[in-house]
Amino acid sequence: NQILLNGNMIKRRSCIDIEDRGYQFGDGIYEVVGIYGGKLFLMDEHLQRLKRSARELSIKLPFTMADIKQDLIELTKVNDVIEGLLYLQITRGVAPRTHELPVEKVEPMVVAYTKELGDLTELQDMGSTAILQEDIRWLRCDVKTLNLLPNTMAKQRAVEQGAVEAILNRGEVVTEASSSNVFIIKDGIVYTHPANNFILNGITRQKVIQILQELNILVKEVPYTVTDLLSADEVFITATKLDVVPINSVDGHDIGTGKPGMMTIQILEAMRQLTARLQVQ
């Protein structure tokens, strides 16, 4: 397996400087891109979001969009990944450790690797469960940074309870989940938290909203409450490569019939048609 390190394809090995700011402060950004049938799905959208994250943190990306795209396609090919994902991370770089940004010029560190993934069809067809956790993250959740401790701790609690996700609530309001966005359906209308500083605007989220509009299903990007979540007819989460996963119960409380709902299945199928098309391109 090869990795991409600062523009070079090399064998995977550990080579992080102890004063890399990503390592010491989580001072960096990342993207995860899904690979379907050997093709990178929605790569331009992911790279646009990366560009935005970099701008928000004043990290100057050391590559052009065209160049990184070529490198990532090459990496996927070299590693012969058919179903999986690609992880791309850029840290601010190596500098003597001070909280403030280094005054001298530092070169950002760019790393990418690929990972094979097993079949997720059963999880998508059967759905899973979720738990609720207070959202204790900072107020810039719209930036995809390496600072993920609140997310990892919330996910750990979910896994300990056999759940696929921890759905996060800031007080009464449901924001998103530890590594996915949350949608609820009530009386035929789909609701999801608006894309502001309280959530990461998922690339899958945006694709699903587009699919809903094409299916003439009304989608409202408005905040909704924990009570709305628990009394919804259907709930599902979206994330790269998970695509759409129905949530059958939250904190042991059944959602609707306690089985994946009709509209959720319709959205999942529409998503499958999109990703299946990639494989034959």
Burial of 129 (0-12, 13-18, 19+ CB in 10 A): buried
> Quick check: 240 binds ligand PMP (CB under 6 A)?
yes
Q: Is 204 in the site for ligand PMP (CB under 6 A)?
A: yes
CB of 200 to ligand PMP, least distance (A): 4
Candidate segments 86-94, 115-123, 199-207, 244-252, binder of ligand PMP by CB under 6 A: 199-207
Residue with smaller CB distance to ligand PMP, 35 or 94: 35
Which is closer to ligand PMP, CB of 201 or CB of 266? 201
Amino acid at 10: I
Positions marked active-site: 144
Minimum Å gap between C-beta 97 and ligand PMP is 27
Give yes or no for residue 181 binding ligand PMP (CB under 6 A). yes
- Per CB under 6 A, 244 contacts ligand PMP: no
Residue 64's CB: how many other CB atoms inside 10 A?
A: 9
Cβ within 8 Å of residue 118, ≥6 positions away? none
H or E segment at 150?
A: helix 149-160
4-12, 58-66, 232-240, 245-253 -> range binding ligand PMP (CB under 6 A): 232-240
Phi-psi region of 142 (alpha: psi -120 to 50; beta: other; left: phi over 0): alpha
Task: Select 97 or 140, whichever has its Cβ closest to ligand PMP.
Answer: 140
DSSP assignment letter at 20: B
Is 179 near ligand PMP (CB under 6 A)? yes
Residue 133 binds to ligand PMP (criterion: CB under 6 A) = no
The answer for residues whose C-beta is within 8 angstroms of residue 99's C-beta and 6 or more apart is 25
Q: CB 104 → ligand PMP: shortest distance, Å?
A: 32
Strands (E), the chain: 2-5, 8-11, 28-36, 39-40, 84-91, 109-116, 128-134, 165-170, 173-177, 181-186, 189-192, 219-221, 224-225, 234-239, 243-250, 253-254
Q: Which stretch binds ligand PMP (CB under 6 A): 64-72, 89-97, 234-242, 248-256?
A: 234-242
Q: How far is the CB of 64 from ligand PMP (least distance, A)?
A: 22
Q: Judged by CB, which is closer to ligand PMP: 133, or 179?
A: 179
| Binding residues for ligand PMP (CB under 6 A) | 32, 151, 176, 179-181, 200, 202-205, 238-240
